[in-house]
Structure 1
Amino acid sequence: MSEYAANGTRSGGAGQPANRAESSATGTLYGLGVGPGDPELLTVKAFRILKQSPVIAYPRKKSGAQSYALKIAETYVDTTAKEMLGLTFPMTKDREALEKSWNKTVDAVWEHLAAGRDVAFLTEGDPMLYSTFIHMMRFLKQRHPEAKTVSVPGISSVNASASRLGIPLADGDERIAIVPATDDYGAVREAIEEHDCVVFIKVAKVIDLMLQVLGDLGLTDKAAVLTKVTSAEESVWLDVRELQGRQLEYLTLMVVRK
């Protein structure tokens, strides 16, 4: 354990972990956006807090599973010098199972915060855009209203995809929507019809339906699909017809620009 991990971190300005070696104050939970995949897209502020926080929490689908967010951050942090806290968030819609999991993760994080240790909670993209940090912050505040939380913005896959494609998300009076893809044909079609640009996230399981809607609207050539954008595992499809019947990675989105 490094000196930082054992004795807290140096005091500083706003958003900077403070030295609590001789203080009974609780630690701060930082929602740390680590970007879409390319480690070079991590912000300077996220880098500083990552270095100074004695505890690094990271999400995973199950115990022992790899964490995409941690893989990005590992470029900049010596995990052997930190308290590493793997938090399991099962991919299920079972509300009872989810609440049990959330309460367990809150307990694990609060143990460190109550002891005065700052916790950097890693999340891919931005912590305030469809991230696990949103739920963590909500559950933590419900059970421990005195808990201090800080969100550190990150570059989202939405922004990164637009840059990767060279496609503006919106300009002038144009309207944009960011929508979780569903198997509701009508909802998907309506989103496209009512906006100039739509970014659909989590399209992997409904790609065939998405292609059907695009075909019916005559917009198949106006769409692109990206997986793990900017990372070493990135895949980009400019001809989305190739994806009919394909199995895709969870971190896949579609940009539709009229």
Structure 2
Amino acid sequence: MKGTLYGVGVGPGDPELMTLKAARLIRENKIIAVPGADPQDTVAYKIAVQAVPELSEKELLPIYMPMTHDPEELERNHAKGAQTLEAHLEQGNNIVFLTLGDPCVYSTFSYLQKRVEQDGYHTELVSGITSFCAAAARLNIPLSEWNEQLHIVPAVHRLDSTLTESGNYILMKSGRKINQVKEILAQSNHDVMMVENCGMENEHIYHSVEEIPDDAGYYSLIIAKEKKNSHD
């Protein structure tokens, strides 16, 4: 009997935002995979171990997932990661793979999931609170109301266009290209807010484009809400 690979979302940063299901799966399984060369140094582990102290006693499986746009390097590491996971699944062991936020939204886990499934193994996804929902709650605002559209954009990959669609925008992974993102936002008709490191000890909140620093970190999420007078 082969094991099951679970892609488990641990939420955005606050350990209290982890789901009961995520906590249960961590407790019930002995092998916990973490995206990083040193599992205990990863953000996902540091979040989860606060909610589930038993995690510190589990067998940790490091899966190195480099932050690169080089397709060959990505391919090589995804293949290596899948092989590492499959070696344990083949022995009948379940694996809980911890991933930030929700595994269904821009998660590197999806690349491993596809490979492992193609090789004949069973996978399951366990939803977690997304970074943009947590950031909106932290700002105490709704993301969208009534018939407003909501656009989710990975800013690091999409800087070739202005925010021309009607509705509100979520710009994810903005940190590395923050200067270009700020230029686009300054030209748009939106009220802009940003949460950096949402739910973590080093969290920062910014309420305008002008407040956003040029050296914002990788975990910076921007919410741009269309100004109500834009169609007057």
Distance 1:88 1:212, change over 3 A: same
Amino acid at match of 1:165: L
Query: 8 Å contact 2:35–2:63 — kept in the other structure?
Result: yes
CA distance in 2 between counterparts of 1:54 and 1:63 reads 18
- Residue 124 of structure 1 and its aligned partner are, at CA, apart by 0.7
Amino acid at match of 2:45: L
User: What are the equivalent positions in structure 2 for 1:45-64 lying under 5 Å apart?
Assistant: 45-60=21-36, 62=37
Question: Which one of the candidate residues 177, 193, 200 is aligned to 2:164?
Answer: 193
Indicate the percent of aligned positions where both proteins have the same amino acid.
34
Question: Which one of the candidate residues 185, 196, 203 is aligned to 2:174?
Answer: 203
CA distance in 1 between counterparts of 2:100 and 2:154 reads 16
**Structure 1: stretches of 5+ with no match in the other structure:** 1-24
Query: 8 Å contact 1:28–1:119 — kept in the other structure?
Result: yes
Question: Which one of the candidate residues 193, 200, 223 is aligned to 2:192?
Answer: 223
- Residue 79 of structure 1 and its aligned partner are, at CA, apart by 3.9
After TM superposition, which residue ranges in structure 1, 4 or more long, deviate above 6 angstroms? none
Question: Which one of the candidate residues 152, 156, 170 is aligned to 2:144?
Answer: 170
Distance 1:80 1:158, change over 3 A: closer
Aligned to 2:230: none
User: What are the equivalent positions in structure 2 for 1:50-199 lying under 5 Å apart?
Assistant: 50-60=26-36, 62=37, 66-75=41-50, 76-142=52-118, 144=119, 146-182=120-156, 185-187=159-161, 189=162, 192-199=163-170
Question: Which one of the candidate residues 211, 217, 225 is aligned to 1:242?
Answer: 211
Aligned length: 225
What TM-score, normalized by structure 2, do the two folds share?
0.91
Distance 1:115 1:185, change over 3 A: closer
CA distance in 2 between counterparts of 1:107 and 1:173 reads 45
3-state DSSP of counterpart to 1:240:
coil
Distance 1:182 1:32, change over 3 A: closer
3-state DSSP of counterpart to 1:255:
strand
3-state DSSP of counterpart to 2:210:
helix
- Residue 225 of structure 1 and its aligned partner are, at CA, apart by 1.1
Query: 8 Å contact 1:51–1:77 — kept in the other structure?
Result: no
**Structure 2: stretches of 5+ with no match in the other structure:** 227-232
CA distance in 1 between counterparts of 2:42 and 2:155 reads 23
- RMSD of aligned residue pairs (Cα, Å): 1.7
CA distance in 2 between counterparts of 1:228 and 1:43 reads 19
Aligned to 2:229: none
Amino acid at match of 1:253: L
3-state DSSP of counterpart to 2:78:
helix
Query: 8 Å contact 1:183–1:209 — kept in the other structure?
Result: no
